[in-house]
């Protein structure tokens, strides 16, 4: 039997990068997959087709994870269409990097809203269904810079550090109903986001990684699969670094 057979997962920011890899990994293991993004574009359409080709039910939804009202409508629509939500992956995220002296208020507020408030929005929306069914796995996508900080990323680091605190609190709030909450803290993962870095910055990152290479989205997806499945039935409130040893 597949690890996620008969389960339904919701993945925010699922059209590309880490979110896409998680969606495909979950589908291979039998999960029906609902994923959301800010727009329905060619990435969303192609992923939807790939997931259906794997023999599971799949649907892309257009939703702004940073909006409480849209998040609530999204969850209600998924429960109506799929009948349940067993796994939530709060993956939606953006960067607006700059040194604090050059960072404007808009870039601070936007990163906090998309990266941190979105997790509040979706978790609050799904909890009533998970509590009722007395089971569920919530996975928040943090970052190693939420643990260690990083110059030029005070907004991003703060949002990811906030996610870690949120994760630990929700694990304690919902644990008595068998709802688990964990965080994954990726390091340098090769995605569209990191592709924007120049060669000098990229090389500096890799030199600080004991495995001397960047990770790929599937490295993160493998850990997400573990946390989503019953293999992690006694794992909650934890932060798992996926960083090639960069953060120990």
Residues acting as catalytic residues: 156
Contact between residue 182 and residue 237 where contact means Cβ atoms under 8 Å apart = yes
Residues 6 or more apart whose CB falls under 8 angstroms from that of 201 comprise none
Please provide the size of the chain in residues: 248
Q: How many CB atoms neighbour CB 5 within 10 A? A: 12
Contact between residue 160 and residue 145 where contact means Cβ atoms under 8 Å apart = yes
- Determine phi and psi for 240, rounding to 5 degrees: -110, 115
SS3 track for 178-233 = CEEEEEEEECCECCHHHHCCCHHHHHHHHHCCCCCCCECHHHHHHHHHHHHCHHHC
Q: How many CB atoms neighbour CB 45 within 10 A? A: 12
Contact between residue 154 and residue 97 where contact means Cβ atoms under 8 Å apart = no
């Amino acid at each position: 039997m597949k690890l996620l057979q008969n389960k339904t997962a919701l993945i925010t920011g699922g059209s590309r990068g880490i979110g896409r890899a998680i969606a495909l990994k979950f589908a291979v293991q039998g999960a029906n997959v609902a994923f959301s993004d800010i727009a329905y574009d060619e990435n969303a359409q192609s992923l939807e087709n790939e997931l259906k080709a794997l023999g599971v039910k799949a649907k892309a939804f257009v939703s702004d994870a940073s909006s409480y009202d849209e998040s609530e409508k999204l969850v209600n629509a998924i429960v109506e269409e799929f009948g349940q939500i067993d796994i939530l992956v709060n993956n939606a995220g953006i960067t607006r990097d700059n040194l604090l002296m050059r960072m404007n208020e808009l870039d601070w507020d936007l990163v906090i809203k998309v990266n941190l408030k979105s997790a509040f929005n979706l978790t609050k929306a799904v909890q009533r269904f998970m509590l009722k069914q007395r089971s569920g796995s919530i996975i928040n996508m943090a970052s190693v810079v939420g643990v260690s900080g990083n110059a030029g990323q005070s907004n991003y680091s703060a949002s990811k550090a906030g996610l870690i605190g949120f994760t630990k609190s929700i694990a304690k709030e919902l644990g008595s109903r068998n709802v688990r909450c964990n965080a994954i803290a990726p390091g340098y993962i090769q995605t569209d986001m990191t592709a924007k870095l120049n060669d000098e910055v990229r090389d500096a990152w890799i030199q600080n990684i004991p495995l001397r290479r960047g990770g790929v989205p599937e490295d993160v997806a493998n850990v997400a699969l573990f946390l989503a499945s019953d293999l992690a039935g006694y794992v909650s409130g934890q932060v798992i670094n996926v960083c090639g040893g960069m953060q120990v």
